[in-house]
Structure 1
Amino acid sequence: MFLPDNMKNTTEEANADNLRKKAYANIEKWSMEIIPERIRKGVQISVQEVQCGDPDCAPIDTAIAILFPAGGRGMMGLPLEAHEVTKEILEENFPYGEVLEKWAKGEDAEWPPMEDMMGQLPELRFDVGDKVECRVGADEVTGWAKGEVIQLWYREQGWQDGSFAPYKIRLDDGRDIFAPADVDQVIRAQKK
């Protein structure tokens, strides 16, 4: 038995929606596990995918809002689709205790903190001149373009304080883009 094309699309959309909802639930659960128990009560986590129309960013980001009962709140984003987010990736990028404590009290706190970004930038996997492939499209197989790293710790005017992109890349077609995270889902070594 064969399904008509319009039934296939409906089934595919429903499967994708179920996968996304399951990923959202996992991210919410993992986020709650990361937040210290003493400030966890009443916290609300909201997860959603955000499509980026800017050709220089990941096609889809996962945005995570953390809302505390005292009115404090924070937001973080991962340049990945929700189903690509693992607990390990979330833990590596999640705000740490001091920031969470301030948000829990209703105070403002930068994430990532500017002082952490300056002088303590993490070691990157690639260096200037390395040949890489960057995710530039939604398709996990064909949505990649080859290029070369031309700058480390790139930032643009108008970006929020403390915001950096690990890499600026010149694609083989001449366009300059940036990789918003140093993870294989966004940037990887060129296949030989």
Structure 2
Amino acid sequence: MFLPDNMKNTTEETNADNLRKKAYTNIEKWSMEIIPESIRKGVEIYAQEVQCFDPECAPIDTKIAILFSAGGRGMMGLPLAAHEVTKEILKDNFPYGEVLEKWAKGEDAEWPPMDIDEDDQLPELRFDVGDKVECRVGADEATGWAKGEVIQLWYREKQWPEDTFAPYKVKLDNGKQIFAPLDVDQVIRATK
């Protein structure tokens, strides 16, 4: 016997799965369009959401694997659910020519690279220590935000690879401390 409440959950789950699959298809198509035509032949792109249970990371990340026919591969991630990824966000965070060329040859290349200028200076950020912000801490676009204060710029942990930093460490109003992995409005924004 089917119960109406069970049918509702099944329908909601099916709709969420369909939305996710459509988002994966879009991300894979857009990624292929971004890759230079000269190295595009034989490339395979796979998008997948990954849930993070670490309170210091985004609750859902979208990981994108780029596999080249010569055996090279690369990976990138966005701290967003797949349906939140737009073509513009993807383009702004996608590996660029030099990195893709190395991956296409089977060589290692760091992504994202740490942009340090000739004076060993890190790039300028939108917020400063003491600024009030909202950070993405949940999957829901409307309610998945928590208010806090920036307490450190260019945060890093000992176990992270050398030259790997998160733009911000934030103390939330509930006392928890988290880091923002990207300096974009989808992850951290000014308090409303």
Sort the Cα spacing of 1:31 and 1:82 in 2 relative to 1 into closer, same or farther, 3 A.
same
> SS of 1:91's equivalent?
helix
Sort the Cα spacing of 1:89 and 1:162 in 2 relative to 1 into closer, same or farther, 3 A.
farther
Q: Which residue of 2 aligns with 1:172?
A: 173
2-structure distance, mates of 1:113, 1:181? 13
Letter in 1 for 2:79: P
The CA RMSD measured in Å over matched residues stands at: 1.6
2-structure distance, mates of 1:47, 1:157? 29
Say which is worse superposed, 132-141 or 10-19, in terms of deviation.
132-141
Q: Give the conservation status (yes or no) of the 8 Å contact 2:31–2:45.
A: yes
1-structure distance, mates of 2:74, 2:121? 22
1:76 shift after superposition: 0.5
Q: Which residue of 1 aligns with 2:110?
A: 110
Q: Which residue of 2 aligns with 1:47?
A: 47
Say which is worse superposed, 121-130 or 5-14, in terms of deviation.
121-130
User: 2:59 matched to 1:75?
Assistant: no
User: 2:190 matched to 1:189?
Assistant: yes
Structure 2 residue ranges without an equivalent (≥5)? none
1:162 shift after superposition: 3.4
Q: Which residue of 2 aligns with 1:24?
A: 24
Q: Give the conservation status (yes or no) of the 8 Å contact 1:112–1:162.
A: no
Q: When the two structures are aligned, how many residues end up with a matched partner? A: 188
Q: Which residue of 2 aligns with 1:137?
A: 138
2-structure distance, mates of 1:6, 1:122? 51
2-structure distance, mates of 1:82, 1:33? 18
Q: Give the conservation status (yes or no) of the 8 Å contact 1:149–1:168.
A: yes
> SS of 2:63's equivalent?
strand
Say which is worse superposed, 144-153 or 180-189, in terms of deviation.
180-189
Calculate percent identity across the aligned residue pairs: 84
Structure 1 residue ranges without an equivalent (≥5)? none
1:48-95 per-residue CA deviation (whole Å, 9 max, x = no partner) reads 000001001000000000000111000000000001111111111111
Q: Which residue of 2 aligns with 1:94?
A: 94
Equivalences for 1:142-157 in 2 at 5 Å?
142-157=143-158
Sort the Cα spacing of 1:74 and 1:152 in 2 relative to 1 into closer, same or farther, 3 A.
same
1-structure distance, mates of 2:112, 2:191? 29
Q: Give the conservation status (yes or no) of the 8 Å contact 2:169–2:180.
A: yes
Q: Give the conservation status (yes or no) of the 8 Å contact 1:45–1:66.
A: yes
Letter in 1 for 2:57: C
Q: Give the conservation status (yes or no) of the 8 Å contact 1:117–1:162.
A: no
Letter in 2 for 1:173: N
Letter in 2 for 1:79: P
> SS of 2:141's equivalent?
coil
